[in-house]
């Protein structure tokens, strides 16, 4: 089944403890992206990747890192999480650059205390 998977689905952590949220797609998509969703703000793009080893900042990259060492994986790293990073995170992938259809993962709900 073609899909985007994210892990974990739920995570509660403390300020400053490094964490990684994994994202994987099995559709051989070139474009991958991370978003955060907060009430009243819609989705905001954190980082995106056009292909392996090619990443670029979205609108809210501060406090996040990404890497794209393999085409199928695009992990999101929070090296020192803070409470303002408490949010619902979505990974998405598309066959090619915008406006190709994006397929979203199921989301990761992160709480930083």
- The site for another protein (CB under 8 A) is made up of 4, 31, 33, 35, 40-45, 48, 50, 56, 58-59, 90, 92, 97-99, 101-107
The least distance separating another protein from the CB of residue 52, rounded to whole angstroms, comes to 15
CB closer to another protein, 75 vs 105: 105
CB closer to another protein, 63 vs 107: 107
User: Following DSSP, what letter does each residue of the chain receive, concatenated?
Assistant: ---EEEE-SEEEE-TT--EEEEEEESS--SEEEEEEEETTTEEEEEEEEEETTEEEE-S--TT-EE--SSTTB--EEESS--GGG-EEEEEEEESSSTTSPPEE---EEEEE-
CB closer to another protein, 6 vs 85: 6
């Amino acid at each position: 089944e073609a899909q985007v998977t994210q892990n974990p689905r739920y995570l509660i952590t403390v300020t400053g403890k490094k964490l990684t949220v994994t994202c994987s797609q099995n559709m051989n998509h070139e474009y991958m992206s991370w978003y955060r969703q907060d009430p009243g703000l819609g989705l905001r793009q954190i980082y995106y990747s056009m292909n392996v080893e090619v990443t670029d900042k979205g609108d809210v990259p501060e406090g996040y890192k990404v890497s794209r060492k393999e085409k199928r994986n695009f992990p999101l790293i929070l090296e020192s999480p803070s409470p303002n990073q408490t949010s619902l995170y979505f990974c998405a992938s598309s066959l090619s650059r915008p406006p190709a259809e994006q397929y979203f993962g199921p989301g990761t709900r992160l709480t930083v205390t």
